[in-house]
Structure 1
Amino acid sequence: MSNAWNEGYFTDEGYTYSYSREINPVFLRYCLLLRGFASLETTEGYHCELGFGQGVSINIHAAANPGSWVGTDFHPGQAAHANALATAWGSDAQLYDDSFEQLLARHDLPQFDSISLHGIWTWVSRDNQKLIVEFARRHLKPGGLLYISYNCFPGWSPLAPLRHLFSLHDRFGTNRSESPDQRIDAALQFSEALLAANPNYAASAPNLNAKLQSIKGQDRQYVAHEYFNRDWNCMYFTDVVEALAPAKLDFATTAVPLDTVDPLNLSAEGMDFLEGIDHPIVREQARDYFVNQNFRRDVYVRGANRLSASEQRQGMFNTRFVLLQAADSVSDTVKGPAGEASLQAEVYGPVLEALAASGYMPKTLRQLSGAVPSMSYDDLVQAITVLVGMNVAAPCQSEAAEKLVQARCSTLNLQLCKRSLLSNKIQVLASPVTGGGVPVSRFQQLFLISIKQGKKHPAEWAQLAWSIISDQGEGLLKDGNALTTAEENIAELTEQAEAFAGKSLVILKALGIL
């Protein structure tokens, strides 16, 4: 049912319980440092997330970063979920269900070190976009950063008409009493039938049917919010630059570390062409044509200050890094718009070995440089950048900041693990080391509960996990097939528990989670 308060936003289906690392201030400061920009880092700052969804990211970042958090999501059900989780671990985060207009009217908000909005900008009205800009103008500190993600052209050009069909059918072609899933399926079936009738549009946009089939297989919560809102304002990069200018915001970089590795993104001809463009905004927009960009993750700064080469080098040397998975399980290839590239064993082998040394504990780039003295500074930075870009390594906050948030991360993680007793909705825990979330599956959270209870053997962890899920009438899948007997399920859980003990526990300890 449509409500006046939802302003055309699809609120009949709640958003997913996903986590976004790009909102993590530690990660964003690293992205700025990588491109040579200064950023604010305090132990008493304020941060804001606009449109926090179910509140997973904002709760994790509120626990894992010093300072305080404010956020809003105008969907009351999602705000209620976010607040319930915040209350459970004793957070002081201020989480509202205000619209952007209501939030802007508040007189009790501080000046923020960072403001983030992930997956919001494209899906709200132009009036709401103006309110977001005005909020940043009033409440972002000089030197503060703004993270924004959005759908963009030219990559969306072939699919925009298809997305319009979905939304149009949902508004006018379905029975509003049907469930959200039924309405979504009806819109997808209508669009599939239209394409099957061979309109000229389909001939001008190759692979449309393959894309539609991919959408049909996606999580319905995600599909609802991605494709079925009334407002959908896809823009070019330069449109967003102009929209944010009244808030005195300068584009600094993307929150995609792999963007700094040109061979992964551009052909030799593309690199040569872009090298000839002096204006940074024109060059960035032209780059979107070469990679056919359809979604951007951008970092803006209110008063961007460039670091000198020596200041940037010093900042990188002082930054700690940590692996998020076992060194021997890291893929030996990485993908980018220009194709797939192999990670050279002679380069990445020693770096991974150095990161894994001493029980995977975090190490500064200076320490890594000492461990692989034959590697040049530029090669080492690129190797670390690629590993962070692949999300198998992460930059860390200072040890002082880590100590400040250790206790509250432990409290939040205990609450998240307790939730795993009943559901698999949230499969991430908070790391005081990285200031962000780390993927930890439901079963792994159940194993952690067993460890907290003093059980030392993987077989015992598996037994506890099985006792919980079997009581709920659930079971495991293996190779796509349901395991039907208790023995089969326990054997699979034991195998997973042994792998968890052999590879994951040491990493979770290094991340401050265990």
Structure 2
Amino acid sequence: MSDTWNEGYFTDEGYTYSYSREINPVFQRYCLLLRGFASLESSESYHCELGFGQGVSINIHAAANPGSYVGTDFTPSQAAFASTLASDWNSDARLYDDSFAQLLARNDLPQFDSISLHGIWTWVSRDNQQLIVEFARRHLKPGGMLYVSYNCFPGWSPAAPLRNLFSLHDRFTKSASAGPDQRIDAALQFSEALLAANPNYASSVPNLDAKLQSIKGQNRQYIAHEYFNRSWDCMYFTDVVDAMAPAKLDYVTTAVPLDAVDPLNLRPEGMDFLEGIEHPIMREQARDYFVNQSFRRDLYVRGATRLSTAEQRQALFNTRFILLQAPESVPVHVRGPAGEASLQTEIYGPVLEALTANNYTPKTLRQLSAAASSLASDDVLQALNVLIGMNAVAPCQSEAAEKGVQARCNDLNLELCKRSLLSDKIQVLASPVTGGGITVSRFEQLFLIAIKHGQEHPAEWAQLAWAILGEQGEVLVRDGAPLASAEENIAELTLSAQVFASNKLVILRALNIV
């Protein structure tokens, strides 16, 4: 493919149909609040996503949040998919296939409450990075937030030459007739052969071969965009801080609630060392050395405003939270850079019990602290942040905002469930409660269609699902082997439907997805 328009970006393979919760404004505002910073929030808000990929996240957030959305992805096929999905549920989101330069040249854009770019910064040229910063300078409101994720040093230092090898092989040895998957496999095989020849580089980097084997097992769409773009500008945290300065953007925190739980991230000597660093930017950069950070998810604000302790405490106590899975499904261990920790039953038991009460309905921190009265409110909050980090709990938006977007979520979810009749590409639905996406598998979406049609029993849901899958020549797999007969497939689907009915359905109802 010609590079006349794609600037070396790997456009021969479309991106995945994944969802990113970090782009959710509700989640972003909570991360700011957790660190004591104010954020903008209004029903007349405007949000922008730069480089939206297949557009799953931007469609979810355009449905589940008040306000309006604008986004661009300069790959036409991806912009077309995202725009068609938006049109099919009657969204007013404005989705373009503009380059960053073209988007910057527009004179019809509003001032945004938030601008988000996930998995974009590292994979574009320095010129495009400057255009992104200029776009934020012109179009982000004072007090608005910018989310950016990127690969970083020091964590990437050992593997960066390996990544460069993939890209160079594709650039200089690719065959004009080879498809994207063939080109990716050829580069991986070349790199594997090079490491087997025992270069000094391989002997200087521990576990490099294991890293390569791990990459080989990943989704080819992800590998294409992670490792095969011509541009790849890995930076230190402070490099990005400096790059954002012309847009008057202040770094405030990460979009990773687990980062607020120091014992999971730092050993005692590391905590002691960092406490001795006065400047917050230097302290954050030094922290990356202790955790060997390779990928950052950062939030910047244009004119960061700190809340008083009383203001932050009141806002946290008024924040609602919801459990996203049955308590027995929540892992009993959590892992961080400092190692693995067990969830203490005497703390997490009462918190999970309180979250489960009244059919999983959302509850404020004040309500949860009252229900788990044996615990200090700070312990309840830390437990919630660990559970949020594990994606077992989510912060919620206000009840007024939830009611305002319910109809839009219904429209999008109906369209997504319709698409599950033919494809398993999108396995997420929109929740007006969290303002974001909730993982719902294709089978579960088919069960929801059955429920929508008045079918009450799991056996009926399984029959509907099999009628669709069987007609398309698809079968289920159990213990690594495909199920041959219709009876076996229906029995397996019935088991799945029974589990769905007893566990997940009540949660989806609490999330106002059903």
The aligned counterpart of 1:434 is 434
1:503 counterpart = 2:495:
no
The aligned counterpart of 2:183 is 183
Distance in 2 (CA, whole Å) between partners of 1:280 and 1:124 is 28
2:323 partner amino acid: L
Distance in 2 (CA, whole Å) between partners of 1:6 and 1:242 is 27
Equivalent residues in 2 for 1:53-92, closer than 5 Å: 53-92=53-92
The aligned counterpart of 1:377 is 377
The aligned counterpart of 1:194 is 194
**1:246 alignment partner, SS class:** helix
- Per-residue deviation, 1:204: 0.8
- Per-residue deviation, 1:485: 1.2
The aligned counterpart of 2:318 is 318
Residue deviations 1:279-325 (CA, integer Å, cap 9, x gap): 00000000000000000000000000111111110000000000111
The aligned counterpart of 2:346 is 346
Residue deviations 1:255-288 (CA, integer Å, cap 9, x gap): 0000000000011111111011000000000000
**2:212 alignment partner, SS class:** helix
The aligned counterpart of 1:212 is 212
Equivalent residues in 2 for 1:258-407, closer than 5 Å: 258-407=258-407
Distance in 2 (CA, whole Å) between partners of 1:350 and 1:484 is 45
Distance in 1 (CA, whole Å) between partners of 2:2 and 2:13 is 12
Structure 1 range deviating more: 57-66 or 326-335? 326-335
**1:5 alignment partner, SS class:** coil
Distance in 2 (CA, whole Å) between partners of 1:400 and 1:385 is 24
Q: TM-score, normalised by structure 2?
A: 1.00
Distance in 2 (CA, whole Å) between partners of 1:139 and 1:174 is 40
Do the aligned partners of 1:250 and 1:303 also contact (CA within 8 Å) in 2?
yes
Distance in 2 (CA, whole Å) between partners of 1:490 and 1:207 is 44
Distance in 2 (CA, whole Å) between partners of 1:73 and 1:390 is 30
Do the aligned partners of 1:2 and 1:8 also contact (CA within 8 Å) in 2?
no
- Per-residue deviation, 1:69: 0.2
Equivalent residues in 2 for 1:101-180, closer than 5 Å: 101-180=101-180
The aligned counterpart of 1:21 is 21
- Per-residue deviation, 1:480: 1.7
* Structure 2, unpaired ranges of 5+: none
Stretches of 4+ moved more than 3 A in 1? Answer: none
CA RMSD after TM alignment: 0.5
Distance in 2 (CA, whole Å) between partners of 1:391 and 1:225 is 25
2:55 partner amino acid: G
**1:4 alignment partner, SS class:** coil
- Per-residue deviation, 1:380: 1.1
- Per-residue deviation, 1:483: 1.1
Distance in 2 (CA, whole Å) between partners of 1:161 and 1:96 is 35
Aligned positions, number:
514
Distance in 1 (CA, whole Å) between partners of 2:176 and 2:347 is 58
- Per-residue deviation, 1:488: 1.1
2:343 partner amino acid: L
Aligned-pair identity (%): 78
Residue deviations 1:195-231 (CA, integer Å, cap 9, x gap): 0000000011111110111111111000000000000
- Per-residue deviation, 1:98: 0.1
Residue deviations 1:53-112 (CA, integer Å, cap 9, x gap): 000000000000000000000000000000000000000000000000000000000000
The aligned counterpart of 2:411 is 411
**1:210 alignment partner, SS class:** helix
* Structure 1, unpaired ranges of 5+: none
The aligned counterpart of 2:49 is 49
2:479 partner amino acid: D
Do the aligned partners of 1:475 and 1:482 also contact (CA within 8 Å) in 2?
yes
- Per-residue deviation, 1:2: 2.6
- Per-residue deviation, 1:479: 2.0
- Per-residue deviation, 1:388: 0.7
